[in-house]
Amino acid sequence: MKRPIIEIDEEKCNGCGKCVLDCAEGALAIIDGKAKLISDVYCDGLGACLNCPEGALRLVEREAPEFDEEAALAAKAKREGAATPHRPHGGCPGSMARTFTPLTGGPAHTGAAGDLRAQVPTWPIQIRLLPPTAPFLKGANILLAAHCAGFALPNLHSDWMRGRVPIIACPKLEDNEVLVEKLTAIIKHGGIAGITVLRMSVPCCGGLERLVHQAIAAAGSTLTPETHIVQL
């Protein structure tokens, strides 16, 4: 079958091991000073390991056997000398793709701290944690928003997030190559229907638009992004 799977550029890899720690399925290992994919069946193709400081990892679509979570976790447990863990959802809890109850648009919460509930339709929202093939991306219109937009717009949830999948990024504080690579994977493999960019009026935030256009070109997509600028 043809599916997304990780590919490693050994020329760029410096053997730091960050990807090994990020891969909850244990599909990667440092061998002879370089990151290696141990077996295709251990790779879920969700891209949790893409936060490589050297940009050595990327998702490609190629012929590969189907991901086998039980085999992956059993092999990982054997290597670590532990019992096979029970992981019904797999992956890091912080990057596990989840869909929540649609937003109701109710009043701002002012209750006790113990009664706080997330008001986002999907999770994760940080682009570097988002699996490119998360189920909720298929056919979705994504809202790519600058980090600051959530604090600058009091009605962000009701005016911008309704009917969209929110994703946040910052072109000034994050590695732009990593952002383009992840966004390219989302466009190419996620099956999204559209992109709305919500950025601040400060010059550095214009990088968010450039990242989107670069990713669209890299993915060979015909998507036309819609951009809105929050004025300061």
For position 129, what pLDDT does the model report? Answer: 84
- Residue 73 to residue 18: CA distance in whole angstroms: 19
Tell me the pLDDT band of 146, cut-offs 50, 70 and 90.
very high
Domains parsed from the chain with CATH numbers: 2-80 (3.30.70.20), 98-104+120-230 (no CATH)
* E-only strand ranges, 64-164: 98-99, 122-123, 141-146
Task: Name the burial class of residue 86, with classes exposed (0-12), middle (13-18) and buried (19+) by CB atoms within 10 angstroms of its CB.
Answer: exposed
Report pLDDT digits (tens) over 60-100: 989 999 988 888 888 887 876 644 444 444 445 455 566 65
Q: Is the dihedral of CA 81, 38, 188, 196 positive or negative?
A: positive
Of all residues in the chain, what percent carry a pLDDT higher than 90?
A: 46
Tens of pLDDT, residue by residue over 39-50, are 999 998 888 888
Which tokens hold the place of 36?
A: 């290696």
pLDDT of 111 reads 53
- The predicted model gives 12-34 an average pLDDT of 88
Average pLDDT, integer, range 168-174:
90
Token pair of 3, please?
């599916």
